[in-house]
Amino acid sequence: MSKERIKIAPELFEIMPPEYQDLVDRATYGNETRGWKDIGNAKELIEEHSLCAGCPESMAFRYILASLPNPEDTVMVGSTGCTSLVFPHVAVHNIHSLFGNQNAIASGLKRALSVRFPDRHKDVVVLAGDGATVDIGLDMTLQAWFRQEKFTTICFDNELYANTGGQESGLMQKGFVAKMAPVGKTFEKVRLPEIARESGCHYVVNCTVSKPNLVEKVIKNAIHVAREIGPTYLQLYTPCILEIGKNSMEGLQEMRDSEKPTERFAYKEYVSEPAKELLTEIAAKEKERKAAAKKQLASQGA
Amino acid sequence: MATQSVIGQKNNKGQTFTDPRYMMHEAERTPSFFTGSEVIKEAIRRASCDVMIAYPITPQSEAAALIGELFAEGYIGDYFRGESEFAVMSQCAGAAFGGARVFTTTAGPGTMRAMENFPMWAGARLPIQMIVTCRGINSPLSIQPDTLEISYLMQTGMLVWHAETAQDFYDWILKGYMVSEEPDVHLPLALCCDGFFVTHTKDMVDLTPVDMCLPPYDPYRSPVPCMDMECPPVRMMRDPFVMKSNYISYATHASWQQEVWAAVERSRKHSIAWLDGLIDTENTDAEILLLASGTAVSQGREAIEILADEGIRVGLVKVKTLRPWPGEEIIEATKNAKHIIVPEFNVTGWLAREVKATIPNNERVHAGPHVCGGMTMPPEIIASEIKTLLGIKVQTLSARGS
């Protein structure tokens, strides 16, 4: 697959907006080796966003979009919240419908695409906040996993309802004082990664988005496993700097602090047996590809 | 995108994709004795559906399960049981966003639980077809027929049709896709009937040939892009106006809603052609008119016969589509009437309210009789209501000593 589908008729090229011309000329659709390192070198699939300055969610968005293995055949599903302000700027098809129903939408979508394109990979990726994933949408999050729906669920965990102004959420830490938790949250942060594993997810990761190469790795793994085996879940810490009283430049440090071995976003991973096999296979192929490329480069040099 | 007509080609079950006008209007029909639920199955067998999503709730469970059998036989692309009606309607949306022809069924409390989805379906221009086998929605729990849920659906931007008989049901399921998938309509359809009365009773229904089916849905005729990455993934908005507080944001949202309702209006011409008018009328020169939708029409027909035996002449208006609302047709059909009786299977009388808001001199509208909570509406009740209205003395039901 290439950029065939987004090409502009030559007669009309000049009148298209420059960012669309850029998508055609410089985006990485169809490039099998695309990844976070393209940021700054190629046209990103996200145009300028409307999140707060320094919001870690915006970093996460850029890394994820740069890492999708197959953006030319990927449809994303969002939900209500800060992410829904970003999706209109994203150059892959994306659906916003209601709050909390994202895994239900994705279930129907994935099945329709499988019926319509039986011989092609059409990846479906859900990206929603913790309120959508764990509170109002928990039922549909879990049921999609029980049914072994073949798509990836990404939760941007900022441990509260950010877009509505900082209310308590299920993924908030116990004791945190927030709107609607006036004397501090009285129960523990919901352990969704463990629940995901028990609910049938084949690849589960809990981490922050402080390291772009790590984000790239887990995104690619999650999407490949979802495509071939079954549901996958990523819980990514994207702190709401506004609501936890940090400054614009402090998001990265907040994530680094929270991923220390004893902290709640220390890297945790679960991979099912069939997923392990698949990922080993993919890693071997990747190694082969790199070796071949190196060899070719060497022969060209000689 | 398909560039050649599929008419005349065969699907994997050996059915021929047939010009729907030929299939519905000219092809030979076979009389069959079926329950309403079985009729739904037979219509869907011929509807070239891609995805059906099911959830159990009385009285639609049987139909939803029978369509599962169609899936097992290979007539439908995919089928599964969702976890609740809210989820099912979102799953239907996902499938429709992905370019599938989608079918589902629900009833009563299920309709209410799923309600948040329906304006979303209409706003997203998803031509999903949903059968609503109406039942009680209020507490205490009732599984019996009651049409109150239709009044909620009428404000969603969906097309809303109200079938009287199993034959209506059969034809309208197939015709419904043809109307709701028109590019200038492209809206979901709530095809309603009164639960049990239609779903669980057997009736003679004339079926179209089993080896003919509708042409498949073409998602690239949609007025909004299909979410399958087969067309350019343009930025949908330069400046997302979702939650902005400015005039352009308000104007954009307003014009989008107006366009949804304009599409409901544009469905009028297609519905008139397919359904042979938005209303059916009989003897509208009579001074007394009975105006109803759904099963109340059937009961009304019997009441009209009872009254005819007593020398009282009553005309009939059967309302087939509630959205689009047949306002002009009703004004014309009721222009001679001195009394317009509107019997309904619900406690609020939403149909009478709509009629009152439509016609001149609306004191002519008599809202009632109403039955609700699963009560039947014997034609005698309608007849006695009309006689009371005319000042004719009638026995009360209790006086009849039943």
Cα–Cα distances (Å) from B315 to A248, B51, B85, B271, B281, in that order, read 74, 42, 40, 23, 8
Q: Best mutation site among A15, A87, A105 for testing chain B: the one with the most B CBs within 10 Å?
A: A105
pLDDT of B242 reads: 64
Cα separation, A70 vs A72, in Å, equals 6
* Cβ–Cβ gap A112/B100 under 8 Å: yes
pLDDT of A88 reads: 85
* Cβ–Cβ gap B235/A84 under 8 Å: no
pLDDT tens across A221-255, in order?
Answer: 999 999 999 999 999 999 999 999 999 999 999 99
Q: Give the residue among A239, A189, A266 at the shortest CA–CA distance from A60.
A: A239
Cα separation, B373 vs B91, in Å, equals 30
* Cβ–Cβ gap A115/B77 under 8 Å: yes
Q: In this predicted complex, what is the ipTM? A: 0.95
Cα separation, B124 vs A201, in Å, equals 30
Nearest to B235 among A47, A85, A116 (CB): A47
pLDDT confidence tier of residue A302, bands split at 50, 70 and 90: low
* Cβ–Cβ gap B83/A140 under 8 Å: yes
Q: Chain A residues with CB inside 8 Å of B240's CB?
A: 50, 85, 88-89
Chain A contact residues (CB < 8 Å to B)? 5-6, 19-20, 47, 50, 72-75, 77, 84-85, 87-95, 97-98, 101, 104-117, 122, 139-140, 143, 147
Q: Chain A residues with CB inside 8 Å of B124's CB?
A: 97
pLDDT of B401 reads: 47
This prediction's pTM: 0.95
Comparing alpha-carbon positions, the chain A residue that sits nearest to B91 is: A108
Q: Domains (ranges, CATH) in chain B? A: 16-221 (3.40.50.970), 279-400 (3.40.50.920)
Average pLDDT score over residue span B330-344: 97
* Cβ–Cβ gap A75/B235 under 8 Å: no
The kind and range of the H/E element at A137 are: none
Comparing alpha-carbon positions, the chain B residue that sits nearest to A149 is: B80
Q: Chain A residues with CB inside 8 Å of B86's CB?
A: 101, 104
pLDDT of B2 reads: 52
In this structure, the strands spanning B102-106 and B129-134 are: parallel
pLDDT of A50 reads: 81
Is the bond preceding residue B343 a cis peptide, omega within 30 degrees?
no
pLDDT confidence tier of residue B402, bands split at 50, 70 and 90: very low
Across-strand partners of A208?
A237
Percent of chain A with pLDDT over 90: 84
Comparing alpha-carbon positions, the chain B residue that sits nearest to A163 is: B243
pLDDT tens across B162-183, in order?
Answer: 999 999 999 999 999 999 999 9
Q: Best mutation site among B71, B90, B236, B244 for testing chain A: the one with the most A CBs within 10 Å?
A: B90
Comparing alpha-carbon positions, the chain A residue that sits nearest to B86 is: A101
